[in-house]
Amino acid sequence: MKFNKLNIIIFIGLFAIVGVLFMQLLTLSQAYAFEKKEFSEKIHFALQDVVTKIHKDNKTEIPITSQIKKITDDYYIVNVDDVFDATVLEYYLKTEFQKVKLNIDYEYAIYNCGSDEMMYGKYVSSSDRKAPRCEKCFTKKEGLVYYFAIRFPQLKYNYITSLQQYWVYTGVLILVLVIYVYSVLLLIKQKKYTELQTDFINNMTHEFKTPISSILIASNYASNQEEIVKNPKLSKYVQIIIEQSNKLNQHIEKILHIAKSDSHMMQLEKTQFNLLDIVGLAKETILLKYEKEISIEILSEKSDYQIVADEFHFSNVVYNILDNAIKYNDASPKIQIKITESPKEIKLEFVDNGIGIETPELNAIFDKFYRISSAKRNEVGGFGLGLFYVKKICILHQWKITIKNNQESTGITVTISIPK
């Protein structure tokens, strides 16, 4: 795989999320072990206190060695080594478990030396749910006489619920990882489609340029022929062919240019120049294109605004904005180019008296291939690439471009903010 910037970012992001998830799982494992140890210690201390109290009641000596035997995590055998009553045992179990804040279900059984079997005691529930008794879960312990067994059937469930916060964090991280992986796959898929589209556009437009060039050569040659010159109809038709061929050629050049910029092949050649010179040149070029009466007024506070930018692309940006202002206009086009300067930026405002744009469409006007849904759209040719190109150039220059409808009159205002 080619390690470009996108691939590096993807791998770093994936590595970071997997690393955080691994650390969270490690923390969860440690928290589980700590919780398990804490429960075990609480149970041990509570049972030890129960044995101590029974011996105090009987006024017998408390055994030095530990009388509590842990069989499994949820099953304990307690060798009291002295006589005790079941009712007293149950009372002490409740009080000692409450002291250590051990609010869990448990059940116990007492060894009956007369019948030589475990006598089931009671299931004590921490809630109001029905107690699932398990009398067969208790087995005899050879060598002991006065003892009882206790089990905690919901202990593992308590471990999990006590770590609820950790489980939520882990679940969120796993969800983030799944969303990230899905987004990356979607991004790679989209990137592949974009590259295929760009290749298709490049191949298609290059194939179109050859026949168009041949048409233009043949049309220009035909327009100078004596038979064509003498016949006004034929001469008009040939001129239409030439004009439309040139128009189609311009569209193809524009598509190639956009495809080139999308494939990250566009390189800006920044130089320092006077902004007013380029704006004036774009004004003269656009006036030569149209035969109808057009008013373009440049309003500026001074005669020199030095900026560092790509002169060619900046000229195209100004030309495209002016071209749109003229094409989407039902009246006599009147355009004002206002240039203002502040300590932080130079601002260009293109104010026209055109048909305007519906408010819901303002956010989409810079999208590729987007054209406004108006009757005028059907009259104006194009692919919806002009403003997309303008936005692209502004982004590459790190400029800010906005568009809004004029409130006091018809038309729109396109604003370009150029940071100093």
Q: What is the CATH number of the domain that holds 322?
A: 3.30.565.10
What residue type is assigned to position 111 of the chain?
Y
Tell me if residue 90 falls in helix, strand or coil. helix
Shared-domain flag, residues 253 and 279: no
Give the DSSP letter of residue 268. -
Where do we find the tokens 């949820």? 74
Q: Rounded to the nearest 5°, which phi and psi values hold at 204?
A: -65, -50
Contact 335, 351 (CB under 8 A): yes
Alpha helices by DSSP H, listed for 292-341, are 311-327
Tell me if residue 274 falls in helix, strand or coil. strand
Shared-domain flag, residues 144 and 185: no
Rounded CA-CA distance 141/147 in Å is: 9
| Residue 322 CB partners (closer than 8 Å, separation 6+) | 282, 283, 286, 296, 335, 350
Shared-domain flag, residues 218 and 192: yes
Shared-domain flag, residues 147 and 179: no
Shared-domain flag, residues 411 and 284: yes
412-419 sheet: strands from edge to edge: 295-300, 334-341, 345-351, 412-419, 400-405
Query: Of 244, 262, 280, which residue sits at a domain end?
Result: 262
Q: Which two tokens stand for residue 334?
A: 């009147």
Spell 43-55 as b/e; 16+ CB within 10 A means b: beebbbbbbebbb
Contact 119, 107 (CB under 8 A): no
Shared-domain flag, residues 394 and 363: yes
Cα dihedral angle (261, 265, 271, 275), rounded to 10 degrees?
A: 0
Shared-domain flag, residues 53 and 147: yes
**Which pLDDT value is given to residue 375?**
45
Q: Are strands 295-300 and 334-341 parallel, antiparallel or unpaired?
A: parallel
Return the half-sphere exposure (C-beta side, CA atoms, 13 A cut-off) of residue 88: 13
Q: Residue 286: name the closest of 236, 239, 333, 249 by CA.
A: 333
Shared-domain flag, residues 292 and 222: no
- Cα 214 to the chain's mean position, in Å? 49
**Which pLDDT value is given to residue 1?**
46
Contact 356, 411 (CB under 8 A): yes
Shared-domain flag, residues 377 and 347: yes
Distances (CA, A) of 322 to 68, 131, 349, 382: 91, 82, 11, 15
Give me the helix-helix angle, 311-327 and 386-397, nearest 10°. 150
**Which pLDDT value is given to residue 336?**
92
Name the burial class of residue 288, with classes exposed (0-12), middle (13-18) and buried (19+) by CB atoms within 10 angstroms of its CB: exposed
Structural domain for 414, as ranges: 270-419
Rounded CA-CA distance 325/352 in Å is: 6
- Cα 357 to the chain's mean position, in Å? 30
Contact 417, 400 (CB under 8 A): yes
Contact 144, 80 (CB under 8 A): no
Where do we find the tokens 């902004």? 275
Q: Which residues pair with 107 in a beta bridge?
A: 123, 151
Structural domain tally of the chain? 3
Shared-domain flag, residues 363 and 254: no
Query: Of 106, 138, 162, which residue sits at a domain end?
Result: 162
Rounded CA-CA distance 137/290 in Å is: 97
**Which pLDDT value is given to residue 335?**
92
Rounded CA-CA distance 139/141 in Å is: 7
Rounded CA-CA distance 6/3 in Å is: 8
Per-residue pLDDT of the chain (420 residues; tens, 9 = 90+): 455 677 788 788 888 888 888 888 888 788 888 888 888 888 899 999 998 898 898 888 887 777 888 888 889 999 988 888 888 998 999 999 888 888 888 899 998 887 888 888 888 887 776 767 887 888 888 888 889 999 988 887 776 677 777 778 878 888 888 888 888 888 888 878 777 777 777 677 767 777 887 888 888 888 888 888 888 888 888 888 887 787 777 777 766 666 665 555 567 789 999 999 999 988 888 887 777 888 999 999 888 899 999 888 898 899 889 988 888 888 888 999 999 999 899 999 999 988 888 777 777 777 776 666 554 454 455 556 778 888 888 998 999 999 988 887 788 899 999 998
Shared-domain flag, residues 68 and 199: no
Rounded CA-CA distance 295/358 in Å is: 24
Shared-domain flag, residues 67 and 41: yes
Give this prediction's pTM.
Answer: 0.47
Rounded CA-CA distance 166/225 in Å is: 87
**Which pLDDT value is given to residue 417?**
94
What residue type is assigned to position 357 of the chain?
I
Query: Of 245, 262, 279, which residue sits at a domain end?
Result: 262
E-assigned strand segments in 206-292: 270-274
